[in-house]
Amino acid sequence: MSTLPKSVRFPLFILMLNLFIALLGQGMLIPILPEYLKLFHAGGTVAGFLVAAFGAAQFFFSPLGGQLSDRFGRKKLIIAGMFLSVISDIIFALSTSLPFLYVARFIGGISLGLMVPANLAYVADITTPETRAKGMGYFGAAMNLGMVLGPGLGGLIAEMGIRMPYFFAAGLGLIAALMTLLLPETLPPEKRTVSIRLQKGDHLGKKIWSSFKVPYFKYLIVLLVMTFGLMSYETVFALFAEQKYGFDAATISIIITLGAIIGIVVQIWLLDCFVQRIGEIKLIRLSLIITPIALLLMLIKVNLVFLLFASALFFAFNSFLRPSVSTLISKNAGDRQGYASGLNTTFSSLGTVIGPLIAGLLFDKNINFPYIFGAIMLLASLGLTLNAFRSKKGQLYTSE
């Protein structure tokens, strides 16, 4: 972060802290959720619906969050998202019946739906086209770090009580929300899109339909496919590794954690170097070739070292994809950074809903099918990048 201007470092640190804490809270819930649900005499089906409720809320509210950040400013939406995250964790911790759990998860999804687009737009506001990829990389690394550290921390705190991790997550969220008050607003009133009105017909379907007309639509599709591929990997990997390799839970956890750490290293230390050398387009193309190869390599049963290599390869190049694609979307968004960030989050969250559903269905047919299908989808999306090129100045153009 030292290579970024001083005026960028503090706001970016606060944004990273926000996303880190929000995703840390989500990650803390993962290892204790099955045990927690026993308090409600519920099992896997309810757990699946709770995950779906969170993803669906994020999907529906992301376009709204992006547009509202263009209308009212980034800071207000970030703060609102953090406070909603706190409310979600508190309701989940205090719940005595299943309906309240669903309400809590839905509110949690709304919080990220409002906060993530505003955060992305804020990063775009404070960075230049030359430093934007680095800013997006730090942004993604903070989210990954939260998901990596969350499960372990949640398990430790649960020793003090099964509800304690949720209270702990709420406390961290409150601290982050208060720190966000120190952020300056990056969108001055004269640049806000005051003409946007949330009319009766201004629904999600209309926003999705309008996304077909934006110049960066193809990159939204790449983002959707990329998220789908990642969720396909994560959703069934534990079952896949257990059935194909006979690995226990501890070994599987090591593989996933190592892969996530590699992703963090890539986004913090390697992403900007690659972007500067070959540009976002070529890096996206390379990643869309390597990631499906890595998925297919996992199907070849050799040993633990080989699977670690394939997983590391997948995580490394998947970590190149998201910030590179987000950077291209931002560069093509013009003055509507919030709107573009909202679509960014919407298409990502759509991948988190569709990916697990399809991966689970395919896994029941054949344990190799989710990875084969994910590889095919990633390779197919490569065609979306073939008619784009960059000028010497680094500006993106798309040929018709």
User: Which has more pLDDT, 346 or 11?
Assistant: 11
Res 389: pLDDT: 43
pLDDT cut 90: percent of the chain above it: 20
Residues near 400 by Cβ (< 8 Å), separated by ≥ 6? 387
Residue 22 · residue 82 · CB < 8 Å: yes
Mean pLDDT of 206-233: 81
Quick check: pTM over 0.85?
no
Res 206: pLDDT: 66
**Closest of 201, 220, 208 to residue 381, by C-alpha:** 220
Q: Identify the weakest region by mean pLDDT among 123-137, 236-250, 295-309, 316-330.
A: 236-250
Q: What is the mean pLDDT of the chain?
A: 81
Mean pLDDT of 119-144: 82
Indicate whether 203 pLDDT > 60.
Answer: no
Mean pLDDT of 308-329: 89
- Residue bearing tokens 């269905």: 361
User: Which has more pLDDT, 187 or 30?
Assistant: 187
Q: Identify the weakest region by mean pLDDT among 169-173, 268-272, 301-305.
A: 268-272
Of 61-65, 102-106, 255-259, the range with the highest mean pLDDT is 102-106
Residue 326 · residue 123 · CB < 8 Å: no
Strand boundaries in the chain, DSSP class E: 388-390, 396-398
Res 66: pLDDT: 83
Q: What is the pLDDT of residues 328-378, one digit of tens each?
A: 888 888 777 878 877 887 888 788 778 777 877 788 889 899 899 999 999
Residue 284 · residue 319 · CB < 8 Å: no
Res 285: pLDDT: 94
Q: How far apart, in whole angstroms, are the C-alpha atoms of residue 141 and residue 204?
A: 29
300: left (phi over 0), alpha (psi -120 to 50) or beta: beta
Q: What is the DSSP letter of 189?
A: G
pLDDT-based confidence at residue 127 (cuts at 50, 70, 90): confident
Q: What is the pLDDT of residues 385-396, one digit of tens each?
A: 876 544 333 444
Q: What are phi and psi of 42, to 5 degrees?
A: -125, 160
Res 396: pLDDT: 44
Indicate whether 92 pLDDT > 80.
Answer: yes
Res 227: pLDDT: 83
Res 196: pLDDT: 47
Indicate whether 123 pLDDT > 60.
Answer: yes
H or E element at residue 67: helix 44-72
CA dihedral 342, 346, 352, 354 (to 10 degrees): -170
- Residue bearing tokens 């919030």: 338
User: Which has more pLDDT, 14 or 145?
Assistant: 14
Indicate whether 381 pLDDT > 70.
Answer: yes
Res 199: pLDDT: 44
